[in-house]
A and B are shown apart, each in its own frame.
Chain A
Amino acid sequence: SQQGEEDPQALSIQEGENATMNCSYKTSINNLQWYRQNSGRGLVHLILIRSNEREKHSGRLRVTLDTSKKSSSLLITASRAADTASYFCATTKWDNDYKLSFGAGTTVTVRA
């Protein structure tokens, strides 16, 4: 079974709009990461947030983490057609920090 669950499963937005997706997980974590995957190929690391952090920014990306609710959100501002991809959250635990546990992903389509 997967540790994380993303919501929504799919998202379609207009270029220039913001995209928000959420991730919930089940057990205590060491950190949470977001990855992007284009067309069923390799994953690209976007951003990592540690369990003692609440918010991080990287360019047009903003990630929040609420460990009390076991949830995270990824916001992509001013979306572009190139942001069309699947987005996955992945968590690691304290006792096996090498293993990434992924959710099923959110598929984002940005319309021109």
Chain B
Amino acid sequence: ETGVTQSPTHLIKTRGQQVTLRCSSQSGHNTVSWYQQALGQGPQFIFQYYREEENGRGNFPPRFSGLQFPNYSSELNVNALELDDSALYLCASSNRGRISYEQYFGPGTRLTVT
């Protein structure tokens, strides 16, 4: 069973730029969620994708968008980057439909906006 992978590991962008982060779900999982974790804080839910559609969204502006592909991999896109977007971005996969709420997290992408 392969785990959740994310790329890139680290990224530095300038304010106003756009960024795309990628996530490959764990084998057999059909749902992916994205979280933002600022330094010293707990993760904050951004959104979740199930069967290639957004299935729920946290309190994040529309410039945060995502995609889920038929192979259940996913992208998080952030437009018009702001300094406050600097954070660790985590994706988590799970298998909706099973009686389990456990989510499997990737190692994260550390985004720095200057």
Contact = CB atoms under 8 A, between A and B. Distances in A.
B74 interface: no
Contacts of A40: 39, 88, 108, 110
B90 A43 contact: yes
Interface residues of B, number: 31
Give chain A's interface secondary structure class: strand
Nearest to B91: A42
B4 interface: yes
Contacts of B56: 96, 98-99
B33 interface: yes
Contacts, number: 69
Contact of A33 (B39, B48, B90, B102): B102
Interface of A: 2, 4, 30-31, 33, 35, 40-45, 48, 88, 90, 92, 96-105
Given A4-B42, A43-B105, A48-B100, 9 more contacts: A30-B101, A40-B110, A41-B108, A42-B90, A42-B105, A42-B107, A44-B105, A88-B42, A104-B40
Interface of B: 4, 31, 33, 35, 39-45, 48, 50, 55-56, 58, 88, 90, 92, 94, 96, 100-108, 110
